Amino acid sequence: MSTSPLVIAIDGPSGSGKSSTSRGVAARLDLAHLDTGSMYRAVACRLAHLGIDPKTNPLDTIEVARTCRLEIDTSADHDLVLVDGEDVTEEIRLPETSAKVSAVATIQPVRDALTARMRQIAAERGRIVMEGRDITTVVCPDAQVRVLLVADPAVRIARRQAELGENVDMAQVIDSIVRRDRDDSTVSTFEEPADGVAVVDSTHLNLAQVIDAVIDLVPQSLR
Ligand SMILES: Nc1ncnc2c1ncn2[C@@H]1O[C@H](COP(=O)(O)OP(=O)(O)OP(=O)(O)O)[C@@H](O)[C@H]1O
Ligand SMILES: Nc1ccn([C@H]2C[C@H](O)[C@@H](COP(=O)(O)O)O2)c(=O)n1
């Protein structure tokens, strides 16, 4: 197992399989894992706890993003997210958080503040898989491996519906996929690969095949 620095950057639209794939790659190669979306989600939860609306109060929103204490477990097989000491591990995954996180993530000074934290985590961990929307283009454009993970929108909706259960409100599922991608793509480019970014299309691949496809992109000397 190599000890050389290694950043694997994985971007993609909602429901493309970034988290599942990133965790699988991190586990196989014994790497740290950072779901950068969880940082935006944690800030959105903290704002709600403080009664701050990002749509009407961007200044206080930016201040929270800059100053809140974010603690994120970066192990591949464990999920723990604290913001200002509060455990929001479950809350960040709720549909109501998904519905409001784009309002936070589309404020550029918020992005600047969280990007700095993401880079610090990458530098501290050294060997890490980082997933999000702008990792390959803004956060870690010099990552050794850069991947855009895509899948047919209908497939992404079907997977999210399967994840949330048959009784889920389909309007909520479509919002969490289609509307969020529309909002998120106003501040990040994740629909087309930047130069040097490999595209992995998971539409017809199972999760194990996608994990293998990403690992195949990692130079043997860095594994
Ligand atoms: N290749 C695949 N084949 C089948 N199901 C998959 C595949 N990849 C991921 N899934 C499933 O699709 C759902 C969404 O995956 P995941 O949460 O990893 O996507 P994501 O890109 O991180 O989503 P978001 O950006 O919305 O957080 C999960 O239920 C996951 O198990
Ligand atoms: N690097 C990132 C990561 C995430 N976001 C946005 C996109 C979503 O609106 C939200 C949550 O991300 P998810 O958990 O769905 O991957 O945060 C971003 O803009 N940049």
Does ligand 1 have an atom closer than 6 angstroms to the CB of 24? no
User: Closest by alpha carbon to 64, among 79, 80, 42?
Assistant: 42
The pTM (predicted TM-score) of the whole model is 0.95
Q: Which ligand is nearest to the CA of 150?
A: 1
What six digits make up the tokens of 29? Answer: 């190669």
pLDDT at position 164 is 85
Q: How high is the ipTM of this complex?
A: 0.97
pLDDT at position 189 is 85
Tracing tokens 């009784």 back to the chain, one arrives at 167
Q: Which ligand is nearest to the CA of 99?
A: 2
At 61-81, the pLDDT tens digits run 999 999 999 999 999 889 999
Tell which atom from ligand 2 comes closest to the C-alpha of 134.
1
Question: 172 φ, ψ to 5°?
Answer: -70, -40
* Inter-helix orientation angle 108-125/95-105, to 10°: 100
Tell which atom from ligand 2 comes closest to the C-alpha of 14.
15
Task: Name beta bridge partners: 130.
Answer: 9, 34
The response to whether 2 counts as a known ligand-binding position is: no
pLDDT at position 72 is 97
Q: Is-contact 91 97, C-beta < 8 A?
A: yes
Separation of 19 CA from ligand 1 center, angstroms? 7
Per-residue pLDDT of the chain (223 residues; tens, 9 = 90+): 888 999 999 999 999 999 999 999 999 999 999 999 999 999 999 999 999 999 999 999 999 999 999 999 999 889 999 999 999 999 999 989 999 999 999 999 999 999 999 999 999 999 999 999 999 999 999 999 999 999 999 999 999 999 888 788 888 888 888 888 988 888 888 889 999 999 999 999 999 999 999 999 999 999 9
Separation of 130 CA from ligand 1 center, angstroms? 15
Distance CA 174, CA 47 (A): 25
